[in-house]
Structure 1
Amino acid sequence: GKTCEISVCIILHTLLTKLLSGSSFLLYWFNSVSLPINLILDLSSGGAAQAWTYNYSTIPSRRWPEARQWCLQHFTDMVPIRNKEESDFINDLLPFNTRYYWIGIVKKDGEWIWQDTSEKVPKEAQNWAPEEPDNIADQNCVEIYIKREKDTAKWNNESCRKKKGTVCYATSCRQDSCSANADCVETIGNYTCQCHPGFLGSRCEEEQGSYYCFNPYGSNRFNSSCRFHCELGFQLVGVPQLLCQASGHWNHPVPLCQGMCSPVFFPVTGNVTCVDPLEPFSFGSRCNFTCQEGYYPTRDNTFTCLASGQQAPWKQQNLKAPPNAFMQCQDPRGVYSYGSICSVLCEEGFDLIGTNMTKCSSEGNWSHALPVCQAKRCPTVNSFSHGSLVCSDPHGEFSFGSRCTSTCEEGFLLNGTADTQCTSLGTWSTDIPRCNGKSVNLSLKHIGCPALSTPSNGSLVCSDPHGEFSFGSQCKSTCEEGFLLNGTADTECTSLGMWSADIPGCLVFAYTQPCPLLAKAPQNGRMNCSHPYSSFSFGSHCDFECDEGFWLRGTQTMTCNNSGHWSQDLPTCQESQGITKIRIHHLGTMHVCTNFQRNPSDGC
């Protein structure tokens, strides 16, 4: 009879070994059953579809140490370009920035090194612009020219104190990318799990099954049969025994070892609805608990069966503040429970579209969808004669936060401020300049910057070595207690006659603790409260006065501070004693003291 092709059975043998090595692979097998050869190739390479990502920031511009610190706080590190191909890739990826971008290469002990690994950058990996590096003293950091007409994607050494754009990277490897039996190895755009000895599969997990074969005419030949068995807690899906046919193919697909979950608990005062894509209470099954009227779940109400055969709560969708907004909630019965009220306030420069408040009903639904915070738009700006205009639009074209930089052609001089920004009022910070023929240059010390104003609810302190708001002036903004700085604190007057950063605003800190509610005025008295931001929150203050015949014991005014406490205790209204009132016609009422008791409000 015809024998099975040895090559086919060798591939099957490899596949069987990997099939029994973990449920994460089994999920991939189910998705790829129509292309088994592709499946085998994917298994041999390992890894998942996560990616090494690049992230950049141009607002604000940062000095090199500040740029690296920002990358370490928000991502993995500053981008350490390893070869020319990566330089070209980043050049295609990033937008043009007049100040260009820092990268993670510095000079140390006379050598250029990758900052993240402290390794020396080899000559073949360096991508300097012509006549660079120029070895000028104190130019120990590296920038990359992005989308520059000349020397694009090339490197240049610069002073680390200069401010430029920031480029960071985030790695693909995460804590759960591979099992504990493997090392996660980074690659560009992906990662690979390198298995420890004795482990196989894409994530190098422990084997969850076994098989044995009977070979009457030799290994993996005609009439060879293999029987499969799964470990406790795993169920075999498919035919348990395979036979090598005269056609040279196995008579059934390879079975799977699928993790099983124990049946879920059915509550007496509720119902359970399950969706089982494979088998009841098996991998991928999801069960949702609902309670009868008058009852509520005591824990997460959705469970899913994981690959390991364990149950875990499904992630709840909590209420989150919309982008560019603050949200403050009052929860009288618990977080996001019946009676909770959440209000939304847009950040400066954004208009609220929709309803600013939503309430949790008795049915567990929010009364309104959360609003949208839309950036204010500024008038459209166009390019001008003998010049060009380059804009960055973080919130939409010509919207709040958009920055436009004007440059002139060779032989022309900029008449006006090069940079303008769309402000929170929907207007440009400066007029678009013109390009005139070059004239005599002024000395730096006579260059002035626009006058600055103190931010509302804040203060501004400046040092002026060459005169008020002139070249070299440095200003620092701070906010009052209870307010949060929205922008960059420090700015400097540059040689171009413009500030390195805009003056920030001071926004009320949305996450301050609210003060206890004052439900009613003191007995025999009156209370008048004002709330500049929200009810009984930071900045709220209440005034008190007593009815006629009573005097105020305590402070007349209470103020809510940013720690959620009132400045004073609630006053009371005490009855006046020992006072005789004599009414004199046409003149009013006169208080007469009839004994030696003294009440402060009567002046006795």
Structure 2
Amino acid sequence: MVFYLEALGNVFGIVLISALIPQIQVGAWTYHYSDQKVYSWNASRRYCQTFYTDLVAIQNQNEIAYLNEFLPYYPHYYWIGIRKINNVWTWVGTNKTLTKEAENWAENEPNNKRNDQDCVEIYIKSPSSPGKWNDEPCLKRKRALCYQASCESFSCNHQGECIETIGNYTCSCYPGFYGPECEYAKKCKELDLFPGNAFMNCSHPLGNFSYKSKCNFYCMEGNRLNGASTLECLASGEWTAEIPKCLVNECPSLKSPERGNMNCSYSSKENINVSSCRFSCEEGFILKGEEVAWCTASGAWTAPVPQCEVVRCPDLEAPIRGAMNCEQSHGVFAYDSTCNFSCQPGYRVSGFETLRCLASGQWTSSIPTCQAITCDPLKSPVHGSLNCSSSLAEFQYNSRCSFQCAEGFVLKGAETTECDISGTWTAPAPVCHAIVCKPLLTPQDGKMTCVHPFGDSSYKSTCQFSCNKGFSLIGSDKLHCTISGHWTADPPTCRANKCPPLIAPPQGILQCSATQENLIYNSTCDFSCKRGLMLMGAQKLTCTASGSWTNPPPYCKAVKCPVLNNPKWGSQECSYNHGDSRVSSVCHFTCNKGFMLKGSENVQCLTSGKWTTPPPTCEVVKCPELAFPKPILMNCSHPWGFFSYESTCIFSCPEGQVLDNSPEIKCQAEGTWSKKMPTCQEEPLSVQKALAYFGGAVASVSGLVIGGSILALLRKRFRRQDDGKRPLSPQSVMGTPGVFTNMAFDSTS
């Protein structure tokens, strides 16, 4: 049995129907859920797509409130149609991204567990978060919450997107359409031709001058269309272009004359009657024909295009002892013709060697002449000499000169030169360059200082070498560039001064800034010892510039704590043997019977070489001091101190009284007395009792004598004390350790 809910405005009715699948219907859109089985998210979606449209795609808070109110509570809740795709939360039914505004996550969601929670459930009737969402692992099993779409294939007139809502649907119209069902098409402004010679033919698939309407335009014979031939009504309600116009025919297009130009009064877009074109020629050409042509109403020009003829210059002749050679592209001695002039051997052209025919019909200059050839004077090169076959003042055609350089210099250029027919030397004067040695490089980790009197790395150059701190020079410290072009020796190098390799001390660790083969200047090595050992020496060694270490290598020495002695009246048990009290060694202390430990029971050896605490001591156990009523006699011995372990006290009563308990008590190891202290009771004293009191002496004459004597002495002593009014001393009461002490208290005192 399931529930069927139908929404009628704001009134909801509940009707019981017989079905296998529970559903909640709102208008034409129904909700459905699985109450017989629970599924994973993927299985839930297959279930919804098999029987309905898809998992629910929630669109607003009203829908959430509706679902929370009418769906039954299920402790594991319901799957809905949101899933993380490419790390983005997406409505799977519409393939649209979940927007920030549409989110309805519960507090601290989503991804509070941060591990594969890619599917979403809705809390239906949750006590704390009703209607809220939570992300869960997709394999968990929950009820599937489905919907049956209300949109049909004909919804929105195929002119918009059908969007589901609670109890209804809405249409999101495509561009160009509007209305509740997208039934209306947008309209464009109606087209109206201006009076003239134009025609229009239109088609209106969605209504007159509406979206997608098309209009084609034509002109009468003898006219041409100015503008777009077809206009279309766009989704925006605007036409694709302005209405075109028909213009009258134009005169035929004209071309510029060869070697000329044309300038017309009409633009490139229109060529109406009474337009004109003016013609001109390029430089060096003259116009033959009408300079201006007009376009008549009949579409014909008043004159043909004129021609441009080339300008000509006067004829030329070759000079005496010379020759002339001309290039004439536009005709003999015509515009832009060029003539080159030359002279016989031993002579050269005086004037311009080349003449050109100008646009004015004149040559650029007068005809040149031929004069005898001489070359420019020569000078000896620096660091060299000059030797010529003619006097230095003439240097005529065919003169010959040779050059030489001083020692240590080489000639750069020709060794000889001749004055040729053109009046120039066959080669320029050479120069003398100093012989060059191969350039030297500053040694790595070193310095180089050079002097070059004749140029870099040249003859007589000298270079001085040195090395940086921590390096030694290998080779000569000074080189010279010789006349042979070689240095006096190979360039030196700088070799790092290395310190001797180090090894880790026994039971120690060595860490260096470089390998043992590369311990150079400023290299460092750090030493440390394993637990329980102490480094003896410098912890860090540095390699000096001279290749020695700043200190000798350290070594590791075992850390030991001082040997502990047994406490007086006690003993110890240690984890080390023969006084080898290393780190972590532990000693346990105990006291003899009757003594108690003062201090820590266990001590441990630390890495600092000290014990965790000072060793404990043993103190004797004390019993409570005795306080007793009068009169009574007490005789105590104290082997270890007053009223301490093994202290023994013997009690007796004055004459005429007897003890009610044992006469002897003893201080035990746990700090308590062995028995309760006795008290004295009045009783006539007979000889027999006296004998019993003093240890049960044998009833003999000698025993009676001794007992009587003791009693007599006791009476005499107490009588003397009473008569003298002298108080008892502390020794007489407490006794002295190791001896017996008599104490008596008279009931009359």
TM-score range, shorter-chain basis? under 0.3
Higher relative contact order (CA 8 A, sep 6+): 1
TM-score (norm 2): 0.19
TM-score (norm 1): 0.24
